[in-house]
Amino acid sequence: MAAKKIPIKGKRNILITSALPYVNNVPHLGNIIGCVLSADVFARYCRLRGYNVLYICGTDEYGTTTETKVLEENSTPRQICDKYHAIHKEVYEWFNISFDTFGRTSTPQQTEICQAIFKKILENNWISENSMHQVCQTAPHIRDTNHLFLELPLLKDKLLFINKMSVAGSWSQNAIQITNGRLKKGLKSRCITRDLKWGVPVPLERFSNKMMFPSTLLGTGENWTLMKTISVTEYLNYETGKFSKSKGIGVFGNDAKDTNIAVEVKLKQGLKIRMSISSEGNGYLQVLEQLNLPPDTPILLENGDIDRVSRPWEILPVGHKFGTPAPLFKELKDEEVEFFREKFAGSQADRIVRAEAEAEKIAEKLKKTKVSDSSGKKQWPVKPATESKAKANAETEISITRLDICVGLTTSVQKHPDADSLYIEDSNHIYCSSNSFKKWLNGHEYVILVEIVVMVLDGG
């Protein structure tokens, strides 16, 4: 288990966070590009500088979106959270996102901290009670319900730190304009409780049947580490709309894995969309690649090292060997791009419908395929020779006596460009001990394999 990361006196200590994704679906490329990718790049940069970095994130497992997903999948909140937390973690690991900690909000520690913040805000008189209309029940009707509100207008003077921090933290104009726009409209009291069954319970007896979402550190009056720099982005567009987890729109993490495109290609494209890399930093990383040095080579970007990167003979040890020149990324051809565009068109629900339709077509073809056993029984009558050759070929009988079953090893495979369920195998990458199979392979450059393969192992 990795040691805890704590602030180190005398070092530059940096806390990096990403927006917590809801557990209402698989994370899509919009989540990755808009939230975690830029933070990951900054975390890696800081580690190369030798800073003490803690990069944290996790799944947001409370709220209406979770309970809606529970109804959709006929499950329980805990089962939904466990399922999608594991999926999120797996996707981010596949993208090599370098979290120091990827946690979740449904832990006892989260509840303890959240309730402590609430009690402190309540003690400081920043919370009020009010009633509001709410639509509820299966047969919708409106009823009044009491809730607790965070009095943001009373905290306005505490937000003056934004003016200083937006300059010191080099906020983007987009972030500054959005923040100032909210402040100019005037802050309003914000409801921080919900009539939900899943969440952090309100630590007040009269509201113990509600869940709370307090969202301020300033109101506690305690010495919290406040935000210095924020990186923001707009929605990532997909086809004619926006990426959306709740609507199933976009290319999702599991889809990206299935393309067999190297993760570095996706991250490079994401960086191109998300941010501009400085020429110094970009050149630094490229030199490490070209000189066959690992990305974590301890060359600090200070004390003149940036300039030294352009003079590698001052960095490389005696006897160092360069790597073999090779393309960094596989080129995506136009036909491959079009294939993926069609494959991921529409929503997740649309893709399921298309997959089911394709499965039905394959099932119909299998029904028309005629099979006989080795004894010759259950033979279908052979069509008269007078029928067309094309029709006879289309209904050629298959007998298991023609099968030569063996165990082999395949080392390279790629998707069939015209089908979702087929793979193309280079015959030079198939190894099998069967002599008859070897002879057959010699006459075929490529072999088409079905996606689901059943292997029969004969003890003899």
Mean pLDDT lowest for which of 48-62, 185-199, 279-293, 364-378? 279-293
With a pLDDT cut of 70, the percent of the chain lying above it is 60
Most confidently modeled of 150-159, 260-269, 279-288, 410-419?
Answer: 150-159
When pLDDT is cut at 50, 70 and 90, the band that residue 448 belongs to is very low
Closest CA to 43 of 87, 100, 89: 100
Task: Please give the Cα distance from 281 to 448 (Å, whole number).
Answer: 44
Query: What confidence category does residue 22 fall into, taking pLDDT thresholds of 50, 70 and 90?
Result: confident
When the pLDDT of each residue in the chain is averaged and rounded to a whole number, the result is 75
What is the reported pLDDT for 60? 92
Cα torsion 337, 339, 342, 348 to 10°: value is -90
Query: 172, 195 in Cβ contact below 8 A?
Result: no
Structure tokens at 47: 């580690």
Per-residue confidence band for 293, with pLDDT thresholds at 50, 70 and 90: low
387/13: higher pLDDT: 13
Name which of 80-84, 296-300, 398-402 the model is least confident about: 398-402
pLDDT over threshold 90, residue 117: yes
Q: Which residue has the higher pLDDT, 305 or 257?
A: 257
> What is the per-residue pLDDT for 121?
93
In the prediction, which pLDDT does 287 show?
57
Q: Three-state secondary structure along 133-163? A: EEEECCCCEEEEEEEEEECHHHHHHHHHHHH
Write out pLDDT tens, residues 192-227.
Answer: 999 888 999 999 999 988 988 766 888 898 988 888
Residue ranges of the chain that CATH labels 3.40.50.620: 13-242
**Is 371 or 109 the better-scoring residue by pLDDT?**
109
Predicted structure pTM score: 0.61
- CATH superfamily placement of domain 13-242: HUPs (3.40.50.620)
The confidence band for 450, taking pLDDT boundaries of 50, 70 and 90, is very low
Residue of 215, 247, 13, 223 lying closest to 105 (CA atoms) = 215
The Cα–Cα gap between 264 and 96 comes to: 9
Alpha helices in 368-398 (DSSP H): 389-394
Mean pLDDT, residues 359-374 taken together: 72
Over the stretch 49-99, which tens digit does the pLDDT of each residue have?
899 999 999 999 998 889 888 998 999 999 999 999 998 898 888 888 899
With beta carbons less than 8 A apart as the criterion, state whether 77 and 67 touch. Answer: yes
* Confidence grade of residue 312 (pLDDT, cut at 50, 70, 90): low
Nearest to 37 by CA among 282, 269, 249: 269
Work out the average pLDDT over 312-324. Answer: 71
Q: What average pLDDT score do residues 338-351 get? A: 78
For residue 457, what pLDDT is reported? 37
pLDDT, position 395: 45
Task: Tell me what pLDDT residue 297 has.
Answer: 58
Phi/psi region, residue 378 (left: phi>0; alpha: psi -120 to 50; beta: rest), is: left
Across 282-291, b (16+ Cβ under 10 Å) vs e yields: eebeebbeeb
